[in-house]
Amino acid sequence: MSAPGGRAGLREATATFRQGEVVGLAGLEGSGQGVFLRIAAGLQRPTSGRLSFFGEDCTNWHHDIFRRRGVAFVLEGRLEEGLIAGLTLTEHFALAACAPRFRVPWHQARQVAEQKVQQFRIRGSTQTCADALSGGNQQRLLLSLIPSDASVLLLEQPTRGLDVASSHWVWEHLLRLADAGVTVLFSSPELDEILMVSDRVLVFFNGRIVLNVDAQDAHPDIVGGGAIAGRLFR
Protein backbone atom coordinates (compact mmCIF):
# COMPACT_ATOMS: atom_id res chain seq x y z
CA MET A 1 0.00 0.00 0.00
CA SER A 2 0.96 3.63 -0.51
CA ALA A 3 -0.70 6.73 0.97
CA PRO A 4 0.11 10.32 1.99
CA GLY A 5 0.16 11.58 5.56
CA GLY A 6 2.49 12.39 8.41
CA ARG A 7 6.07 13.34 7.72
CA ALA A 8 6.89 10.65 5.18
CA GLY A 9 3.58 9.11 4.10
CA LEU A 10 3.53 5.39 3.31
CA ARG A 11 5.26 3.86 0.28
CA GLU A 12 4.75 0.35 -1.05
CA ALA A 13 4.25 -1.20 2.38
CA THR A 14 3.51 -4.92 2.44
CA ALA A 15 2.77 -7.02 5.54
CA THR A 16 0.63 -9.93 6.71
CA PHE A 17 -0.60 -10.49 10.26
CA ARG A 18 -1.74 -13.66 11.99
CA GLN A 19 -4.49 -14.20 14.54
CA GLY A 20 -3.28 -13.71 18.12
CA GLU A 21 0.00 -12.11 17.02
CA VAL A 22 1.49 -9.04 18.75
CA VAL A 23 3.38 -6.85 16.25
CA GLY A 24 5.38 -3.76 17.22
CA LEU A 25 5.79 -0.92 14.70
CA ALA A 26 9.17 0.72 15.26
CA GLY A 27 10.89 3.73 13.74
CA LEU A 28 11.22 7.46 14.15
CA GLU A 29 7.92 9.25 14.68
CA GLY A 30 6.25 10.09 11.38
CA SER A 31 8.00 7.34 9.43
CA GLY A 32 4.72 5.80 8.27
CA GLN A 33 3.41 3.93 11.32
CA GLY A 34 0.49 6.31 11.90
CA VAL A 35 -0.65 6.19 8.27
CA PHE A 36 -0.31 2.40 8.31
CA LEU A 37 -2.54 2.06 11.40
CA ARG A 38 -5.17 4.47 10.05
CA ILE A 39 -5.41 2.51 6.80
CA ALA A 40 -5.72 -0.72 8.79
CA ALA A 41 -8.58 0.87 10.78
CA GLY A 42 -10.42 2.10 7.69
CA LEU A 43 -9.90 5.77 8.62
CA GLN A 44 -7.80 6.40 5.51
CA ARG A 45 -7.75 4.75 2.11
CA PRO A 46 -4.53 3.92 0.29
CA THR A 47 -3.82 5.72 -2.96
CA SER A 48 -2.55 2.43 -4.35
CA GLY A 49 -2.42 -1.17 -3.22
CA ARG A 50 -4.85 -3.59 -1.66
CA LEU A 51 -5.97 -4.39 1.87
CA SER A 52 -7.56 -7.71 2.82
CA PHE A 53 -9.23 -8.94 5.99
CA PHE A 54 -9.33 -12.72 6.48
CA GLY A 55 -8.92 -13.05 2.71
CA GLU A 56 -11.70 -10.59 1.82
CA ASP A 57 -10.82 -7.41 -0.10
CA CYS A 58 -11.58 -4.51 2.28
CA THR A 59 -9.63 -1.74 0.54
CA ASN A 60 -12.73 0.44 0.08
CA TRP A 61 -14.57 -0.43 3.27
CA HIS A 62 -15.81 2.45 5.43
CA HIS A 63 -14.49 2.69 9.00
CA ASP A 64 -17.88 1.59 10.36
CA ILE A 65 -17.59 -1.72 8.49
CA PHE A 66 -14.16 -2.30 10.01
CA ARG A 67 -15.64 -1.63 13.46
CA ARG A 68 -18.50 -4.07 12.87
CA ARG A 69 -15.97 -6.70 11.75
CA GLY A 70 -14.10 -6.36 15.04
CA VAL A 71 -11.31 -3.89 14.25
CA ALA A 72 -10.72 -1.48 17.15
CA PHE A 73 -8.39 1.54 17.11
CA VAL A 74 -6.96 3.21 20.24
CA LEU A 75 -5.45 6.52 19.17
CA GLU A 76 -2.44 8.26 20.67
CA GLY A 77 -4.32 11.44 21.64
CA ARG A 78 -6.41 10.29 24.59
CA LEU A 79 -8.47 13.45 25.08
CA GLU A 80 -7.79 14.91 21.63
CA GLU A 81 -9.08 11.90 19.65
CA GLY A 82 -10.02 8.97 21.89
CA LEU A 83 -12.14 10.45 24.69
CA ILE A 84 -14.42 13.48 25.02
CA ALA A 85 -13.51 16.01 27.69
CA GLY A 86 -16.52 17.02 29.77
CA LEU A 87 -18.39 13.74 29.31
CA THR A 88 -18.65 11.27 32.17
CA LEU A 89 -17.61 7.63 32.08
CA THR A 90 -21.27 6.63 31.85
CA GLU A 91 -21.77 8.96 28.88
CA HIS A 92 -18.79 7.42 27.10
CA PHE A 93 -20.26 3.93 27.46
CA ALA A 94 -23.65 5.26 26.34
CA LEU A 95 -22.09 6.65 23.17
CA ALA A 96 -20.28 3.36 22.53
CA ALA A 97 -23.49 1.38 23.01
CA CYS A 98 -25.63 3.55 20.75
CA ALA A 99 -23.07 3.89 17.92
CA PRO A 100 -25.09 1.77 15.43
CA ARG A 101 -28.43 3.13 16.67
CA PHE A 102 -30.06 6.45 17.52
CA ARG A 103 -31.47 5.62 20.93
CA VAL A 104 -29.26 5.98 24.00
CA PRO A 105 -29.48 2.93 26.31
CA TRP A 106 -28.84 4.81 29.57
CA HIS A 107 -29.71 1.98 31.95
CA GLN A 108 -27.36 -0.42 30.15
CA ALA A 109 -24.63 2.24 30.00
CA ARG A 110 -24.77 2.81 33.77
CA GLN A 111 -24.49 -0.91 34.46
CA VAL A 112 -21.59 -1.34 32.03
CA ALA A 113 -19.80 1.73 33.43
CA GLU A 114 -20.05 0.39 36.99
CA GLN A 115 -18.72 -2.99 35.86
CA LYS A 116 -15.84 -1.54 33.85
CA VAL A 117 -14.75 0.84 36.63
CA GLN A 118 -14.27 -2.20 38.85
CA GLN A 119 -12.81 -4.51 36.21
CA PHE A 120 -10.25 -2.00 34.91
CA ARG A 121 -9.59 -0.46 38.33
CA ILE A 122 -10.34 3.06 37.10
CA ARG A 123 -9.78 5.58 39.88
CA GLY A 124 -12.98 7.53 39.47
CA SER A 125 -16.73 7.08 39.59
CA THR A 126 -19.18 6.52 36.76
CA GLN A 127 -19.97 10.25 36.97
CA THR A 128 -16.35 11.39 36.74
CA CYS A 129 -15.53 13.33 33.57
CA ALA A 130 -12.81 11.89 31.33
CA ASP A 131 -10.62 15.01 31.58
CA ALA A 132 -10.62 14.72 35.40
CA LEU A 133 -8.87 11.34 35.24
CA SER A 134 -5.09 10.88 35.34
CA GLY A 135 -3.31 9.80 32.16
CA GLY A 136 -3.13 6.21 33.35
CA ASN A 137 -6.82 6.12 34.18
CA GLN A 138 -7.72 7.73 30.85
CA GLN A 139 -5.82 4.89 29.17
CA ARG A 140 -7.70 2.33 31.29
CA LEU A 141 -10.97 3.96 30.21
CA LEU A 142 -9.94 3.76 26.54
CA LEU A 143 -9.07 0.08 26.91
CA SER A 144 -12.35 -0.60 28.71
CA LEU A 145 -14.22 0.81 25.69
CA ILE A 146 -12.74 -1.82 23.35
CA PRO A 147 -15.60 -4.10 22.22
CA SER A 148 -15.54 -7.57 23.74
CA ASP A 149 -15.76 -9.14 20.27
CA ALA A 150 -12.72 -7.31 18.84
CA SER A 151 -10.56 -9.47 16.58
CA VAL A 152 -7.93 -6.86 15.62
CA LEU A 153 -6.63 -4.18 17.97
CA LEU A 154 -4.61 -1.22 16.64
CA LEU A 155 -2.86 1.07 19.12
CA GLU A 156 -0.79 4.23 18.84
CA GLN A 157 1.75 4.44 21.65
CA PRO A 158 -0.46 2.64 24.21
CA THR A 159 1.78 3.48 27.20
CA ARG A 160 2.72 7.06 26.28
CA GLY A 161 3.13 9.17 29.42
CA LEU A 162 2.31 6.33 31.81
CA ASP A 163 4.33 5.31 34.86
CA VAL A 164 5.92 1.88 35.07
CA ALA A 165 3.07 0.31 37.08
CA SER A 166 0.39 1.61 34.68
CA SER A 167 2.39 0.50 31.63
CA HIS A 168 2.81 -2.96 33.11
CA TRP A 169 -0.94 -3.21 33.77
CA VAL A 170 -1.77 -2.09 30.20
CA TRP A 171 0.42 -4.79 28.70
CA GLU A 172 -0.90 -7.48 31.01
CA HIS A 173 -4.37 -6.64 29.65
CA LEU A 174 -3.28 -6.47 25.99
CA LEU A 175 -1.35 -9.73 26.15
CA ARG A 176 -4.37 -11.49 27.66
CA LEU A 177 -6.36 -10.32 24.63
CA ALA A 178 -3.66 -11.67 22.32
CA ASP A 179 -3.72 -15.01 24.16
CA ALA A 180 -7.47 -15.08 23.46
CA GLY A 181 -6.83 -14.69 19.71
CA VAL A 182 -6.91 -10.91 19.20
CA THR A 183 -4.30 -9.60 16.75
CA VAL A 184 -2.48 -6.63 18.33
CA LEU A 185 -0.59 -4.03 16.26
CA PHE A 186 0.99 -1.13 18.11
CA SER A 187 3.44 1.69 17.57
CA SER A 188 5.91 2.86 20.20
CA PRO A 189 9.02 5.05 20.28
CA GLU A 190 10.47 2.76 22.96
CA LEU A 191 12.49 -0.11 21.48
CA ASP A 192 12.69 -1.85 24.86
CA GLU A 193 8.89 -1.95 25.02
CA ILE A 194 8.57 -3.26 21.46
CA LEU A 195 11.15 -6.01 21.95
CA MET A 196 9.72 -7.01 25.33
CA VAL A 197 6.12 -7.69 24.26
CA SER A 198 6.15 -8.30 20.50
CA ASP A 199 6.11 -11.55 18.56
CA ARG A 200 7.30 -9.67 15.48
CA VAL A 201 8.72 -6.23 14.70
CA LEU A 202 8.22 -4.02 11.64
CA VAL A 203 10.71 -1.18 11.25
CA PHE A 204 9.51 1.90 9.35
CA PHE A 205 11.90 4.37 7.71
CA ASN A 206 10.91 7.25 5.43
CA GLY A 207 7.50 5.73 4.70
CA ARG A 208 8.72 2.22 3.97
CA ILE A 209 8.82 -1.02 5.94
CA VAL A 210 12.55 -1.73 5.82
CA LEU A 211 12.63 -4.66 8.24
CA ASN A 212 10.15 -7.40 9.16
CA VAL A 213 11.63 -9.78 11.71
CA ASP A 214 10.60 -12.09 14.55
CA ALA A 215 11.19 -10.37 17.89
CA GLN A 216 13.39 -13.23 19.08
CA ASP A 217 15.76 -12.51 16.18
CA ALA A 218 15.69 -8.76 16.70
CA HIS A 219 18.30 -6.74 18.56
CA PRO A 220 18.17 -3.06 19.57
CA ASP A 221 21.11 -2.26 17.28
CA ILE A 222 19.40 -3.98 14.34
CA VAL A 223 15.94 -2.51 14.93
CA GLY A 224 17.32 0.93 15.75
CA GLY A 225 19.42 0.85 12.60
CA GLY A 226 16.29 1.41 10.51
CA ALA A 227 17.31 1.88 6.91
CA ILE A 228 20.67 0.13 7.35
CA ALA A 229 18.91 -2.89 8.84
CA GLY A 230 16.46 -2.91 5.98
CA ARG A 231 19.24 -3.05 3.38
CA LEU A 232 21.06 -5.79 5.28
CA PHE A 233 18.03 -8.06 5.63
CA ARG A 234 16.55 -7.74 2.14
Assign residue 198 the CATH number of its domain: 3.40.50.300
Give the end-to-end CA distance of the chain in Å, rounded to a whole number: 18
Distance CA 53, CA 97 (A): 24
- 162 and 138, same structural domain? no
- 95 and 14, same structural domain? no
Residue 100, CA distances (Å) to 64, 91, 172 in order: 9, 16, 30
pLDDT tens, residue by residue, 129-158: 999 999 889 999 999 999 889 999 999 999
Residues of the chain above pLDDT 90, percent:
70
Residue 76's pLDDT band, with cuts at 50, 70 and 90, is confident
- 166 and 126, same structural domain? no
User: Residue 200's beta-bridge partner residues?
Assistant: 23, 214
- 152 and 49, same structural domain? yes
For 127, the domain range is: 80-145
Handedness of CA 126, 129, 134, 140 (dihedral sign): positive
Residue 117 has φ and ψ, to the nearest 5°, of -60, -40
Q: Does residue 182 register a pLDDT over 50?
A: yes
What mean pLDDT comes out for the span 158-178?
91
For 187, counting Cβ atoms within 10 Å of its Cβ (0-12 exposed, 13-18 middle, 19+ buried), the class is: buried
- 97 and 47, same structural domain? no
Q: What is the DSSP letter of 133?
A: S
- From the list 143, 152, 37, the residue with the least C-alpha distance to 96 is 143
